[in-house]
Amino acid sequence: MRFDVLTLFPELFAPFMASGVTRRAYESKQVEVVLWNPRDFAQGNYKRVDDRPFGGGPGMVMMAEPLSTCLDAALAARGSPAPVVLFSPIGESLRHEAVERWSASEGAVLVCGRYEGIDQRFIDTRVTHQISLGDFVLSGGEIPAMALLDAVARLQPGVLGDEASHVQDSFNPSLDGLLDCPHYTRPEQWNGQGVPAPLLSGHHVQIERWRRDQRLAITAARRPDLIAAARAAGRLSKADETALKKKL
């Protein structure tokens, strides 16, 4: 798959793509990332990509023309149409289900906004999807773009050391969309705190039941909406419901 990223700060992506386990996805081109700077497509000696907003107000607004010309170049290089994604506070919150869809797609063009915003005419005519990381504002779309790329890259075959790792992640359908359970490692005693007995029992059924109960308890406490969704979909067993009642 290929992601073309329109950004005024392409230098931010080089260390990101060369670090950590997900670098395997970029090195192998399982996830190909091509960077485009709208400033390269701006006109005039100063290569301006922003101007003051009509109607007044603080900040600057990214101009439609450099972005549109840059986008045309990216789409031409791809050789086929592609979704155009803008990271924006009004976008749909990014969830695991969407990440899975993107990870199985041919990719997209990711538009990283800056300043006070982007000329709405570009958004209305060129953007097909808008995505938000949450109810807060960042200084640009680069961090959300990296978040999407990282989430997609780690789902590619061979990227993680253990193929089962992402299957046990929070929100994964294999865990019925629940949050993950606590994890422990050596030493067995640390600062006067031990490891829960079931994890030391060697009894796999008991271990899995403990982990399931922990996932249920944590999800019920932190994200009751996920419990409701799992219950509505019929994904909770009688044992699950019993464990939840004990936690009330």
**Structure confidence at residue 44 as a pLDDT band (50, 70, 90):** confident
pLDDT value of position 162:
65
pLDDT tens-place string over residues 94-113: 999 999 999 999 999 999 99
pLDDT value of position 163:
62
Residues of the chain with CATH 3.40.1280.10: 2-153
pLDDT tens-place string over residues 189-204: 999 999 999 999 999 9
pLDDT value of position 166:
73
Q: In the 3-class helix/strand/coil scheme, how is the chain assigned residue by residue?
A: CEEEEECCCHHHHHHHHCCCCCHHHHHCCCCEEEEECHHHHCCCCCCCCEECCCCCCCCCEECHHHHHHHHHHHHHHHCCCCCEEEEEEEEEECCHHHHHHHHCCCEEEEECCECCEECHHHHHHHCCEEEECCCCCCCECHHHHHHHHHHHHCCCCCCCCCCCCHHHCCCCHHHCCCCCCCCCCCCCCECCECCCHHHHCCCHHHHHHHHHHHHHHHHHHHCHHHHHHHHHCCCCCHHHHHHHHHHC
| 169 counts as catalytic | yes
pLDDT value of position 165:
65
Choose the catalytic residue: 81, 89, 196, 224.
Answer: 89
CATH code, residues 2-153:
3.40.1280.10
| 154 counts as catalytic | yes
| 116 counts as catalytic | yes
Choose the catalytic residue: 154, 211, 212, 215.
Answer: 154
| 100 counts as catalytic | no
pLDDT tens-place string over residues 128-169: 999 999 999 999 999 999 999 999 999 999 999 766 567 677
Choose the catalytic residue: 65, 100, 150, 169.
Answer: 169
Choose the catalytic residue: 116, 180, 198, 231.
Answer: 116
Pick 167 or 205 by higher pLDDT. Answer: 205
CATH code, residues 171-247:
1.10.1270.20
pLDDT value of position 52:
97
Pick 161 or 243 by higher pLDDT. Answer: 243
Residues of the chain with CATH 1.10.1270.20: 171-247
